[in-house]
Amino acid sequence: MHRPLKHSPVLLGALVLTLAGCSDSGNGPADGSNILTAAQVQDIGQDVAEDVVELTDASVYNGNTGIDMEGASSNGVRLTSVPPACVTVSPSPPTNSDGDIVPDSVRLSYDCGFQRANGVLIDSLTGSIDFFDPQPTVVSLGVKHIFNDFTRKRINSAFPLRSFTAVHNGVREWGGNADTLGHTITDFSTVWTHASGRQTTHLKDWAARFTATTPGTIGLGIPLPAGGLTLNGTSTWSTANRSWSVAVTTAEALQYDPSCEVTPRLTDGTLDLVITRNGEVTNVEIVFINCGQYQVTRTVGASS
């Protein structure tokens, strides 16, 4: 069940922003520059929504491509095709001490382009990711990643304002069992270039948990099943030579639906962001309402 919005929303492209009690103009500390503007709220809403998408996308290991390029389209069937020409594996073959599908250590370099949702989404991938087996001598469910200027570019013809380029650097690790996964993100930086041309940087330390709707359905080499996702943590979000401290909590578990053809593949759930600069607070609520749809609401309050 969605929590009702506290204000009447104003539609801006694919995002809904509710503005309350603050000025969006001025440059000094006394004139509202510590409070996120409407455009900045749109940007941080998109940044965090895409960060959540990556939590689900990165909680899968494909034995041939590292990341799961097929997503929901593989219908839970383990992918066994040879690595595509756009992925280079080093070393080849890698060492695999325990014989599961995660090698002890391998670098995958990408130069890929592909379409999804009947051509609505056009993605390209460049850069590299180092993959490690956290327990290289024991068959287990888990992967550690180190991203090295791994770059995603998306053209979204259905919602042009959600097109972007994102450059990722940092460490992710996930693991668990067939019922639940834990996911940690440590000192992970994403530099976003939005469709508007604005550039933002999100540096985060997050912890997340995914619980499968049907127990026993999580596995290496297959897409993530339907389930609930919660996340909490802190981050620094920067744009236009200014930085804000961000605390994110899950007010209502996010519901992941792998059958959704448009990202984010979330049909329900709410994130609360408390965003602070120089003692002034912007509260942002992100409500996921359907496949590929979410609302971003802004209110302003004083720090305690």
CA dist 202 and 192 (Å) reads 8
User: What is the predicted pLDDT for the residue at 17?
Assistant: 37
Predicted confidence (pLDDT) at residue 68 exceeds the cutoff of 90: no
Predicted confidence (pLDDT) at residue 14 exceeds the cutoff of 70: no
User: What is the predicted pLDDT for the residue at 144?
Assistant: 96
Predicted confidence (pLDDT) at residue 60 exceeds the cutoff of 80: yes
Radius of gyration of the chain (CA): 19
CA dist 234 and 236 (Å) reads 7
Note the pLDDT tens digit of each residue in 69-91.
654 333 333 333 445 788 999 99
More confident call, 8 vs 84: 84
Q: What is the mean pLDDT of residues 87-98?
A: 92
User: Domain-by-domain residue ranges, the chain?
Assistant: 10-25+32-302
Predicted confidence (pLDDT) at residue 293 exceeds the cutoff of 70: yes
Predicted confidence (pLDDT) at residue 116 exceeds the cutoff of 90: no
More confident call, 89 vs 31: 89
